[in-house]
Chain A
Amino acid sequence: SQQGEEDPQALSIQEGENATMNCSYKTSINNLQWYRQNSGRGLVHLILIRSNEREKHSGRLRVTLDTSKKSSSLLITASRAADTASYFCATDGSGGGADGLTFGKGTHLIIQP
């Protein structure tokens, strides 16, 4: 099955800096989503970007999508300690089947105070 792959696997930055995570996927998609997972908790939806969109913003989050390169990026600006978490991209298939979201392995982000 297709799968998004996040890069880097781990990222450690200072509080206040910007954090950028990348996601690459293999086949055509309708939508791409980003989720956050705090340690020991369930996933929380951050943002959804459709295949006909190139950029989307939500608060301190900025997501881009390049369907020609099959890649997406998540930018968190002015990072805070509370942003420490794992971040996952998830893709659906453009084939129309209801076969679920396919998740990448995640980027573990650590914000140093």
Chain B
Amino acid sequence: NAGVTQTPKFQVLKTGQSMTLQCAQDMNHEYMSWYRQDPGMGLRLIHYSVGAGITDQGEVPNGYNVSRSTTEDFPLRLLSAAPSQTSVYFCASSLSWGNTEAFFGQGTRLTVV
């Protein structure tokens, strides 16, 4: 049972490049989300999904796109990377929202130069 798997673990991008951060879970969780963690800022919600085909914006969605074509996968796309997107990104999943524990991936450390 792998839980929540994020790839890649590390990535360096040049300003303006695009990329997709992958997230997959094998727990049949309906709820998935993406957070970014910056020093002194805690975790901030980027986008979330309550099930396949349903996504919505979180607190800091600008510059990011998501889709949810399957229950298992929830990729995060950076359309045109900017230095302000340098951060550690975490994907999480849970059975339901807020009233059950969330399972987190190991994170993707992204640097935009």
Contact = CB atoms under 8 A, between A and B. Distances in A.
Contact of A93 (B35, B98, B106, B107): B98
Contacts of B45: 99-102
B39 to A, nearest CB: 10
B33 A48 contact: no
B1 interface: no
B41 A100 contact: no
Contacts of A90: 102
A103 B42 contact: yes
Contacts, number: 71
Contacts of B35: 103
Is the interface on chain A under 10, 10 to 19, 20 to 34, or 35 or more residues?
Answer: 20 to 34
Given A3-B42, A105-B42, A30 B58 contact: no
A33 B103 CA distance: 12
A50 B59 CA distance: 24
A30 B99 contact: yes
B105 A42 contact: yes
A103 B58 CA distance: 13
A34 B42 CA distance: 13
Q: Which 5 A-B pairs have the closest CB atoms?
A: A92-B98, A42-B104, A45-B101, A105-B42, A103-B43
Interface of B: 4, 31, 33, 35, 40-45, 48, 50, 56, 58-59, 90, 92, 97-107
